[in-house]
Every structure is written in structure tokens, then in C-alpha cells.
Amino acid sequence: MSRPRTPVRILILLLGMVAAGSLAYALSNVRKGYEPRQPILFRHSRMAGPAVMQTNEKGEAVNVGGYDIPCLTCHTMPYKGRHATVPSTAVCMNCHTAVGLNREWVLKMKDYWDRGEPIPWVKVHDLPDFVYFDHSAHLNAKDEKGMPKLPLKDAEGRPWQICANCHGRVEETDIVSVTNAFNMQWCLDCHRKPEMKASTDCVACHR
């Protein structure tokens, strides 16, 4: 039994690597679990989570949980337009002229504000550029009874915010990551549910 010559083996190996890599890439879930490092360690749980009262060593009651701020306080636009919008630094300054003035990350944020620079947040839930997604079309979609089509409770029946259907329970996380697949299959899983009566036309998202 003769053995293939070395250059041919290398060639096959290279071609195969490309093919296998592509296949693995296609099958793997490249977005789920994406958790980029942000310029400021902003904790959603601290802002939007429920309050958790504890007594400190001095015997004072302190809130070690969150302030229960609704999502729409900062992300103002999801019902009105395509983007949910990331708040401008001025929104942070609405409160942080008065509270948390000595915290490390608040100071960093104030730095940006004083310099007049926007904060370069890293996009977490990032769809490809050929997908035209509209928040308002999803959040305003109602069924016959006038209830939002997106469920207000999870699969186990525990209530959640409407945003959580795609973004997960952000108010419980410190660092936001992608908790769903965010690929076309995942979109279509929902669009194809009979009760959603959603379009599965290509041009619904691609144009």
C-alpha cells in the first residue's frame, strides 16, 4: 500500500480544515454567550433589579439589590421606532449629579461627560447588517384580545418583562450577554408559531 506524497497530504489537510471549519462555524452558535467587555462596568441588576434590603454592620438598612428602574426609563424608544436606543450620557447625569458620586465607574462616566465625549458602548445584541429589525413592530404586535403577542411570562410560567423574550432577564445580570441564539433559525422559530401570525416573507427582514 503506497502512501500519499507529503505535498498532497498537506493540501488535503488544508482544504479539509477550511471545510470543517466552515461547517463547524455554521453549526456553532456564534452569538449566544457573547459577553463583550464594556468601557464602563455598568450593572443592569443594580439599576433594574428588585431591591434587596440588608442591615450593615452599623445597623443601617441598605439596599444591596437594585432600584427597580423600568427598562423604558433609559431605553426610551423601543415602542416608537426601530431602535431601543442606548441612553445618552445626559440620561446618566440625570441622577448621578446627586448620587453615587464617589463610585469608580460613575467617576469614569462623569469623565466622559466632562470631556463631552459619548461613551463607546459595545453592541451586545448585534444582528448582521442585512437584517432590518424593528423593535416597535415586535413590541406593539397584539393578538385578537389586544394582548401583546410576545408572552409576558417564560416557559415555566414565571412573569418577566416583554424585553426578556429576546434579551433574557437583563435585570438579573451584571454584565449583559446574549442569552438566545440570535440567528435566523431562532427568529423563524417564533415567526412560524401559528398564534404569532407573523410574516415569514424574506422581505420582512431582508431587502
Residue 30 is given by DSSP the state: S
Distances (CA, A) of 191 to 74, 183, 205: 28, 13, 11
User: How near is the Cβ of 205 to another protein at its closest, in Å?
Assistant: 9
Neighbours of 129 (CB within 10 A): 6
63-71 long-range contacts, Cβ below 8 Å, gap at least 24? 66/171, 71/161, 71/163, 71/170, 71/171
For residues 173 and 198, give the distance between their C-alpha atoms in angstroms, rounded to a whole number: 30
41 belongs to the binding site for another protein (CB under 8 A): no
Separation of alpha carbons 27 and 35, rounded Å: 20
Shortest distance, position 72 Cβ to another protein, whole Å = 13
Among 67, 105, 113, 160, binds another protein (CB under 8 A): 113
Per CB under 8 A, the list member of 61, 99, 116, 185 interacting with another protein is 116
Report 138-197 residues binding another protein (CB under 8 A): 140-142
Per the rule left: phi > 0, alpha: psi between -120 and 50, beta: everything else, 164 is: alpha
Query: Residue 97, interface with another protein (CB under 8 A)?
Result: no
Q: Is the dihedral of CA 137, 140, 145, 151 positive or negative?
A: positive
Q: Provide the minimum distance between the beta carbon of 106 and another protein in the complex, in angstroms, as a whole number.
A: 17
- With beta carbons less than 8 A apart as the criterion, state whether 30 and 21 touch: no
- In the list 28, 55, 102, 185, the residue contacting another protein (rule: CB under 8 A) is 28
Q: For the window 63-82, what string marks contact with another protein as x by the rule CB under 8 A?
A: -------------xx-xxxx
Nearer to another protein among residue 63 and residue 112 (C-beta): 112
Q: Which residue from 101, 154, 193, 199 is in contact with another protein, where contact means CB under 8 A?
A: 199
If one asks whether residue 94 binds another protein (CB under 8 A), the answer comes out as: no
| Residues within the interface to another protein (CB under 8 A) | 1-5, 8-9, 12-13, 16-17, 19-21, 23-25, 28, 30-31, 34, 36, 76-77, 79-83, 85-90, 112-113, 116-123, 126, 128-130, 132, 134, 136-137, 140-142, 199, 201-204, 206-207
